[in-house]
Structures are given as C-alpha cells and as structure tokens.
Amino acid sequence: MVRKIAVNVARLVIAMTFILSGFVKAVDPLGTQYKIVDYLKAMQLGTFVPDFLTLTASVLLSAVEFGLGICMLFAIRRRLVSLLALCMMIPMTALTLWLAVANPVTDCGCFGDAVTLTNWQTFTKNVVLLGCVAIVRYRPLDMMRFVSKTNQWIVTNYSMLFIFAVSAWSLYDLPQFDFRPYHVGTNILKGMEIPEGAEMPTFETTYLMEKDGKRQTFDIDHYPDSTWTLIEANTRQLTKGYEPPIHDFYINDIETGEDITMQLLEQKGYLFLLVTPHLGSADDSQFDRINELYEYSRDHGYRFYGLTASDEKAIGQWRDMTGAEYTFCQSDETVLKTIIRSNPGLLLLKDGTIVRKWSHNNLPQLDEEQANKSLEQLDIGHLPKDTTPRKILDIVLWYMLPLFLLTIADRLWAWSKWMKRKEETNKIFKLLRKKKMRKKIVAGNWKMNLNLQDGVALAKELNEALAADKPNCDVIICTPFIHLASVAQVLDANVIGLGAENCADKEKGAYTGEVSAEMVKSTGAQYVILGHSERRQYYSETPEILKEKVQLALKNGLKVIFCIGETLEEREANKQNEVVKAELEGSVFNLSEEEFRNIVIAYEPIWAIGTGKTATAEQAEEIHAYIRSIVAEKYGATVADDTTILYGGSCKASNAPELFAKPDIDGGLIGGASLKCADFKGIIDAWKK
C-alpha cells in the first residue's frame, strides 16, 4: 500500500510538472524557439541550425512534454511512458547541471515566462523529478488508471490535437496567455518605476556606426553626428540592483539618436507602435492593412511609429516595398521580441498603457463607418473583454471538461462491468445463467468401432429410447465415415444430431483415402470432431493442419467439436492452462466472433481417456472456468457465456451428475460408454438429476 501511494504521488508530481511545462511552451512557441536559439548560441551552434528547425523543435518539445504528462496522469501505456520520461529526464538533468555551473543562459525557460527559475533552482527541480521518474519506472503498473485501456486512445489523440492546435493558433495569432511584462493592461511607465531607496542597476547602451566604410562603436555620451549611419544598438547590464519588470525598454530617434521613450509614453492619448524586430524577415503580406491603419491614425491625430532593431538600409527597403510613410525608431531586438510574438506586430497604447495587441495575421480592419469614428468610440480603443479568467474557462470547456466527462463515464462503465463480474462469480447466478443461455450437450464418439450393421442398429436403438424418453439436453453421435449416410436415414434430427469423427484439411483433389468436409456435410451430418488427442498423437495433426480443417468445416456449414487437453506429464508439471490456451490460439482463436459461435469446445484430459482415471469434478471445473476466461479475453464475456464446453475423460453414468452440476461444465464427449445404449442414456439422464 505504501509503495503504491509513493508511486502514484510521484506520478502526479511528474504529470502536473510536464503538463504545465508543455502547455506554457505551446502557448508561446516563439518564446520557446528564442530560448532554444539561446542554448545553441551558448554551445556555439547558433549559425548551424536554421530557424524553421528551431521552431519545429519548439512545437515538438511542448507536445512531447504535454503528451507525456497527460499519459502519466491517466496511466496510459505505463511501462513505455515511464521509460520515455526517464530517457527525457536523464539528459535534461545533465543539461541543467551544466547551466547551473557554467551559467551560459540566465533562465532555462522550462516554464516559459510563466514561472522564472534560477539555473540552480531548475537543476534542483530536475533532480526531484528524476527521483520521481525512477520511482514510477521501478513499479509502473502500480499507477492507478483513470481511464480504461480501451478508451485511452481518445485521451491521447484528443490531447495531441489540442496541444498542436494551441501551438498553431499561438503562431498564427498571439499567445492566449501573455506572461511577459508587456501584456495587455500593463502601463509601461509604471513597469519601469523603481521604488524609492532601491539599489539601482546600471546599463550601457552602445551603438555600432558606419561612415565611409569604417565601423566604430560609440556610447550615448559620445554619439556621433548625422554623417554616421547606425548599424545596430546593444544594451547590456553593468551592475545588478533592483530590476523593475520593464527595465530595458527604450525608443531612440534614428536620425538624432535621441532617446524619446519618455516623450512618447508620457504624452496623453493613443499611440500605435508597429513592432518589427527584423525588417528583413518581417511578413509583408498585410502591409496594405498596416498602411490603412497608419492613415486612420494620421486622420484622427494619433501618433504612429515603427520600432525595429534593423538598420537604416533595411528600413529603406521596407519603405520601398510597402510604401510605408510612418516614422521608424530604434529599439533593442530582444525587447521587441518580448513585447509581441509577431514580426510585425501592432500595439495600441493609451496614456502609456498597452490597450491592444495584434499579430500581422489578425490586424483590425475598419470599414467606412468605423474609419470615421475615433478610437474612443470603437471597441479596439478599449481593453478587451476576454479576461484571463475567461480564457481559463475556455480551456476548461474545450479541453478539461470533455476529458473529465470521459473519465466519469469510463469509471461508471468500469464500475458496472465490475458489478457484472462480481455477479457472475456468484455460483448460483452462474448456474442459472448457464442453464438459460448455453446448450447442454452429450456427444458420443464411437471411434473405430462397430461395423455398418451394428452401428445402424445402435443408432436405431438410441433413437427409439430417446424418442420415448425425451432428454434434457442435445444429443449427438459421431460415427466413422462409413456409417454416416446410413445412420442419417434412421435418426430423427430433432432427437439426435449426427457428426463425423474427422474431416480432411483439403477441399478436394488427389488425396486418396481422405474425406472432405463437403462430403461429410452431404451425408446429413451437422457436426465434426476435430483436434482429438488421438488424431494429434497418432496422425501428427498440427495446429496449422487443424486450423485448415476448422475453416473448411465451417465453410461447409458444419459445427465443430474442437478437442483440447493435456498429457499426464503436462498436468503434473502444472502446465495444463498454457497447453489448452496454446491449442485454442493455434487453431480457433483466428476465427471471427460469428465463426467462433459455431465451435463447441471439448476438454479431454489425455491422461483420463480410456484409462479409467477421471479428473475430479473440482479439477474439471477449474480448467473449464479457465478455458471460458480465455475465450472471454478473446471474444468478450457474452461469447464466453454462450460457448458450450464439454468434458471428455472417462465420463460414466456414475460420475456424470457430479460433473454436470458444475457451472462451467456443459456436458460430455463420451467415448467407450457411448457404444451401449443403456450406458450412453445413463449419462444423458444425468441432466435430469
């Protein structure tokens, strides 16, 4: 009990961590891509891996983490999932140890921007997770399932569809959850404030400039004149101190180099900022709509600026390509990527507060009536109504609620199945069900006995005796081939069924001495015995041969009495269960459910056939119950309950009542005792006792 509790607690810790980590990465795949690029740069591999590969890796990483978390939560493919989790955590723990020691990247990004951990905190977290994974991997089957095995595919497929949809939507539009300092509703000025008395960090901004083919770096105090061309600007922190949420945001006038950040943010009213970290890789498919918004802002007196980290050459190319008339300003590339996950993306600020964000795929489109209204009169001029609680509710309704309902329905179904199993283990119920549903059969196997005249005479005698004293079960006699046609003429098919003792494994052809299933059927027989131990032993009939015989018999409309059973050596080695299972799997478990319903199973302990030895009623019931259970595993409980299983092993009138009283014994396949009318009828009459 303690072990199972430990495994399931560890499983839940892993599941919740992986789900959270995978989801926040899927919500912000570009942010995860930027972090992957940081890792590659730290490993000196940044120039070798193209952007599409890092973005693909970002999406796949989030899907793998989320998928493993869901599978761990619902205990799906427990052995495989625990192994995959271990294979993932070992290199991840080693990687975070390197991060903690070398500190090439300040934030591992394992929870995106939702939760920021130091590298040592990340390493500690991974050590704990690795320990949890090791516990789960040691005893994966101790994880309790929340959804049955048959319904697990719904959970995995739905979860993968959901997480890929989240990533796709976040790439097309914007992340549904914005954990960064520049989320909608943030006042940038307040985000930059430093409390009174706080220790101040220091930063240095440098500018790479070019003039007459010569490049030189300047700081803000030595910014050159306008004859120099700005190549790029970089800001780095010199000393640590209190770091406000927004600490590296700036807007520089490209022409003068002047910092106009406060000038723009402190002015009252609306401000459009078109954010394009790299103009060379910016999507230009919506430039017409951008220009329309610029014209709208100009007509209504709103300020509109482009922010970029690109140089003046790239800005000129953008203007030539799009016809842009708005002013461009310089800002830090990393900051711009942090502000909005779109290139380009559009921000609307009012009094320094971010009111709206749009990706280039979802820019607002104003009709003629809206274009004549001010932003105060339009919805886009106000904070959106889709608050974080509303977004969380959407996630619950679209993902968690369906899975919760599936789990409840599945557990109710599992409970009803458990109740049904409990009910069916009740001996009284099983007896009643058996008597109601399954056929009771006593079948005689004459083997190689009786000439034609004696066989016909015995058939007549049996027919008269049973016609006069109706049996409480179905009766079948299986005779040698030579008797079939003649015996069929003297039997009343409503009283006694007729069967053959064998048939060929070939349909027709040059097989001297063989009798096909079609020939057997043509005599008037309805049954055929296949797989008898004597055929297996003396004529080397293999499971493959018997499989062919069964198929041909069923094809020709014969019902099959299929024999299985173990030798004395196998019984003494306690291998009887695996023997009978292998014989069924080898020859009849390939059948469809509809075909299998024409199979009658006859269990014959080989050590009790013709030896005078008989399995005790308890031994016979035990193996019959096992046979029924493996039929249930293959075809379901309903088919198993309907399958007639006969006992064949020195069954006599004296022991038949005790054997037939067992709930899983549905009659007998009788050998020597079927050659005399009185003996055979004594066994048949056991069903009346």
Least confident of 218-232, 243-257, 421-435, 458-472: 421-435
Q: Where in the chain is the domain with CATH 3.40.30.10?
A: 188-383
Which of 239-243, 267-271, 317-321, 374-378 is predicted least confidently? 239-243
- Once rounded to an integer, what is the mean pLDDT over residues 284-310? 94
Residue 72 has pLDDT above 60, yes or no: yes
Write out pLDDT tens, residues 443-457.
999 999 999 999 999
Question: The domain at 430-688 falls in which architecture?
Answer: Alpha-Beta Barrel (3.20)
Q: How far apart are CA 112 and CA 36, in angstroms?
A: 11
CA distance 411 to 312: 64
The reported pLDDT for the residue numbered 429 is: 45
Question: For the segment 591-639, what is each residue's pLDDT rounded down to a tens digit?
Answer: 999 999 999 999 999 887 766 566 788 999 999 999 999 999 999 999 9
Average pLDDT, the chain: 89
pLDDT of residue 233 exceeding 90: no
Least confident of 75-79, 569-573, 649-653, 682-686: 649-653
Q: Which whole number is the average pLDDT over 366-371?
A: 91
Provide mean pLDDT across the span 107-112: 77
Q: Active site includes 278?
A: no
Q: What percent of the chain has pLDDT over 90?
A: 65
Q: In 221-377, at which residue ranges do the beta strands (DSSP E only) sit?
A: 229-239, 252-253, 270-276, 303-308, 327-330, 345-350, 353-359
Q: Which residues contact 282 (CB under 8 A, 6 or more apart)?
A: 276, 318, 343, 344, 360
pLDDT score, position 432: 46
Residue 650, annotated ligand binder? yes
Helix (H) or strand (E) holding 582: helix 576-587
Looking at the chain, which residues constitute the CATH 3.20.20.70 domain(s)?
430-688
**Tens-place pLDDT, residues 491-517:** 999 999 999 999 999 999 999 999 999
Question: What are the structure tokens assigned to 117, written together?
Answer: 């951990």
Find all residues with CB under 8 Å of 389, minimum gap 6, and list them. none
What is the pLDDT, as a whole number, of residue 87? Answer: 94
Fold of 188-383: Glutaredoxin (3.40.30)
Residue among 532, 534, 541, 566 flagged as catalytic: 532
To the question of whether residue 213 is assigned a binding role by annotation, the answer is no
Q: What is the pLDDT of residue 152?
A: 83
- DSSP lists the bridge partners of residue 274 as 306, 346
* 671 in a labelled binding site: yes
- For residue 344, pLDDT over 60 is answered with yes
Mean pLDDT on 106-118: 79
Q: What percent of the chain lies above the pLDDT cut of 70?
A: 94
Q: Which two tokens stand for residue 132?
A: 């949890």
Give 112's contacts (C-beta < 8 A, 6+ positions apart): 24, 25, 27, 28, 31, 32, 179
pLDDT of residue 434: 47
Q: Is 604 a catalytic residue?
A: yes
Which residue's structure tokens are 């020691």? Answer: 101
Name the pairing type of β-strands 229-239 and 202-211. Answer: antiparallel
* Side-chain half-sphere CA neighbours of 685 within 13 A: 13
- Which one of the listed residues 65, 501, 604, 621 is annotated catalytic? 604
Nearest Cα neighbor of 495 from 479, 472, 475, 468 is: 475
Cα–Cα distances in Å, from 118 out to 104, 452, 650?
12, 95, 79
pTM (2 d.p.): 0.55
Residue-wise pLDDT tens digits, 174-193: 988 888 899 999 999 999 98
Please tell me whether 610 is known to bind a ligand. yes
Strands 303-308 and 270-276: parallel
